[in-house]
């Protein structure tokens, strides 16, 4: 399927815009958060940092460089 619209199941005449997601990946400290935030601002869309999905204890370990 090409294009930005998809047909809704059960109603071949209806279409809806499929949400886009941009995933930025890389090693720790390479600038993923900075790039993700800048891209989201440029596109006028929300930014979700994957670190915010981790428990506070794990975020502290990642910040300290603890595996």
**pTM for the complete prediction?**
0.59
- Domain extent listing, the chain: 21-67
Mean per-residue pLDDT, 49-63:
89
Q: What DSSP assignment string belongs to 1-67? A: --SSEEEETTEEEEEEEPPP------STTSSHHHHHHHHHHHHT-----GGGGS-HHHHHHHHHT--
What integer pLDDT is reported at residue 5 of this predicted model? 55
What integer pLDDT is reported at residue 1 of this predicted model? 45
User: What is the distance, to the nearest Å, from the Cα of residue 63 to the centroid of all Cα atoms in its chain?
Assistant: 20
The model's pLDDT over 17-54, given as tens digits with 9 standing for 90+, comes to 788 899 999 998 899 999 999 999 999 999 999 888 99
What integer pLDDT is reported at residue 6 of this predicted model? 52
């Amino acid at each position: 399927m090409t294009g930005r619209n998809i047909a809704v199941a059960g109603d071949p005449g209806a279409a809806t815009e499929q949400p886009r997601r941009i995933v930025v990946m890389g090693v720790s400290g390479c600038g993923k958060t900075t790039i993700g935030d800048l891209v989201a601002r440029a596109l006028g869309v929300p930014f979700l940092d994957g670190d915010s999905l981790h428990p506070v204890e794990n975020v502290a370990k990642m910040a300290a460089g603890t595996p």
